[in-house]
């Protein structure tokens, strides 16, 4: 048996586990999707894999499901962070959504010198990440962090984590991800609409764990660059093969 609807719940999942729904979840399942008692939903919580659950109680303000069998084991993405400088709201939402679909384990909005938005709505972006995981069949939901200052992150960067620095100044160069660094923690860094400052570029290129790469002969929008970089990384080191 499979279920068409997937729902992320902040609740332990296991054989016979009953799950009480929030008002919003009940509204979605019973009001919008018109499910009734006896219907099945695929639940996941980011830790216990995906579980098939039967609707045992359906109401306007709540409801209850009972887990019957595990339909998918937990599948963790590679240990890959996606660092990006927030841009306009819709495009930032897009970057978060694509990062989830393409297997980022952590999504970090970073404040760089030319980043023009001072703050991000972490709760809203995290909700986007949940929606993307529900849609793409993922059993893991990456954390979207609060906005971090890039310079501070680099000050205490974990030494074993490689950094794919997508530098627009390398547009058209042949700089690619060459070294074979599979099985290591990685991060991808995408700059803002205004690009990186010379000071940032110099510091980043000199870091022992940084790998400067070009994303081709054209300047990509930051959201396009995020997708291109994730694709490049996945092909080289990721879980697509």
Residues of this chain that bind ligand SAM (CB under 6 A) = 166-168, 170-171, 190-191, 193-196, 214-216, 219-222, 225
Cα–Cα distances (Å) from 95 to 61, 121, 126, in that order, read 33, 14, 12
Rounded to a whole number of angstroms, the minimum distance from the CB of residue 150 to ligand SAM is 11
State in angstroms the smallest separation of the CB of 21 from ligand SAM.
41
CB of 228 vs ligand SAM, minimal distance in Å: 8
Q: Nearer to ligand SAM by C-beta: 205 or 220?
A: 220
**Measured from the CB atom, is 46 or 86 closer to ligand SAM?**
86
| Whole-number Å distance between alpha carbons of 129 and 106 | 10
- 166 versus 187: smaller Cβ distance to ligand SAM: 166
**3-state SS class at 123:** helix
Count H helices, E strands: the chain? Answer: 6, 12
> Shortest Cβ contact with ligand SAM: which residue?
191
d(C-alpha 156, C-alpha 150), whole Å:
10
Beta strands in 27-144 (DSSP E): 40-44, 50-58, 63-72, 80-84, 106-111, 143-144
The nearest distance, CB 231 to ligand SAM, in angstroms, is: 13
Of 62 and 216, the one with the shorter C-beta distance to ligand SAM is: 216
């Amino acid at each position: 048996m499979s279920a068409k609807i997937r729902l992320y719940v902040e609740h332990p999942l296991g054989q016979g586990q009953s799950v009480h729904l929030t008002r919003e979840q009940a509204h979605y399942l019973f009001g919008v999707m018109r499910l009734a008692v006896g219907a099945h939903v695929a639940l996941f919580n980011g830790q216990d894999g995906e579980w098939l659950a039967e609707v045992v109680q359906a109401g306007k303000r709540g409801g209850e499901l009972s887990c019957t069998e595990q339909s998918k084991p937990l599948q963790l993405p590679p240990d890959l962070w996606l660092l990006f400088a927030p841009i306009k709201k819709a495009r930032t939402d897009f970057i978060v959504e694509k990062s989830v679909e393409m297997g980022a384990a952590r999504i970090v909005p970073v404040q760089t010198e030319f980043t023009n938005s001072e703050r991000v709505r972490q709760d809203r972006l995290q909700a986007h990440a949940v929606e993307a995981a529900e849609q793409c069949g993922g059993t893991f939901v990456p954390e979207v962090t609060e906005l971090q200052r890039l310079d501070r992150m680099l000050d205490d960067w974990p030494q074993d984590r490689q950094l794919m620095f997508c530098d627009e100044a390398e547009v058209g160069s042949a700089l690619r991800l060459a070294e074979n660094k599979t099985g290591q923690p990685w991060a991808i860094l995408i700059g803002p609409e205004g690009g990186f400052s010379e000071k940032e570029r110099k510091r980043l290129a000199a870091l022992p764990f940084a790998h400067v790469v070009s994303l081709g002969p054209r300047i990509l929008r930051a959201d396009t660059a995020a997708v291109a970089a994730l694709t490049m990384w996945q092909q080289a080191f990721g879980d697509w093969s």
